[in-house]
Amino acid sequence: MITIRKAEDRGHADHGWLDTNHTFSFASYRDPEHMGFRSLRVMNEDRVAPGKGFGTHAHDNMEIISYVLSGALEHKDSMGNGEVLRPGEFQRISAGSGITHSEFNPSSEEPVHFYQIWLVPNVRDIQPSYQQREFDKGEKLNRLRLVASPDGADGSLSIHTDADVYLSHLAAGSEVGFDLQPGRHGWLQVLSGSVAVSGNQLSTSDGAAITNEDSVSIVASEDAEIMLFDLT
């Protein structure tokens, strides 16, 4: 079964400096029917104004992945990390026993557009850690590139939860398939463009929960970028 979460049905808030859309319940947006999907707890699409950002705040026991679509995102944390993410770059924070961090747009002119994704860990109170990585464009073109996994396979980010995360850039008309093992579930997020997922049409910022399916086919209706989660 494929259940579509349309972009326009998400929670939305415009704080002036931050324009944000919530696929699942987050902050003041509460929807009992959309509290997350399996271990996927947060799927926020954020746009932060130039020179603005999230001030220092705390997290614990959460796997946090950020992916920049355009602009730049400056990260600082209590572990001593200080990095700037550019388009196509990922960061992973394992909050574990507790961290503080800030995320700012360092540009004076250009907004930053990025996804903030939270996954519930399968272990608690671990030592916090940080990773940042960009993946070769050729490895993502018309195929699914593993970008996060429990064991950091194939140079992917390491996450402390039973999930594999894939990224793909699909040229119009191209197709990728994915097999789901028994007991596994999928979530597809369309970052840009449009695709058909086993015949179901999805557009930019749409998502889809995939349950009780042995496999799915993803066909690009136009040039598209997608993120696929393989979850327990």
Number of domains, the chain: 2
In this structure, are 127 and 68 located in the same domain? yes
**Residue 37: per-residue pLDDT:** 98
Write the CB contacts of 60 (distance below 8 Å, at least 6 apart in sequence).
95, 96, 97, 98, 99, 125
Q: 3-class SS at 123?
A: coil
Domain limit, last residue, from 134, 154, 171: 134
Q: List, in order, residues 6 or more apart from 198 with CB less than 8 Å away.
A: 2, 213, 216, 217
Average pLDDT over residues 3-16: 98
- With cut-offs at 50, 70 and 90, classify the pLDDT of residue 145: very high
Which structural domain, as residue segments, surrounds residue 176?
Answer: 138-231
Write the burial class of residue 77 (CB in 10 Å: 0-12 exposed, 13-18 middle, 19+ buried): buried
Under the banding of pLDDT at 50, 70 and 90, the label for residue 189 is very high
pLDDT tens for each residue of 69-99:
999 999 999 999 999 999 999 999 999 999 9
Q: Residues 127, 161: one domain?
A: no
Q: Are residues 225 and 164 in the same domain?
A: yes
Q: Distances from the Cα of 72 to the Cαs of 15, 42, 67, 224, 230, in angstroms?
A: 19, 21, 10, 21, 28
Are residue 46 and residue 75 in the same domain, yes or no? yes
pLDDT tens-digit series, residues 87-136: 999 999 999 999 999 999 999 999 999 999 999 999 999 999 999 999 99
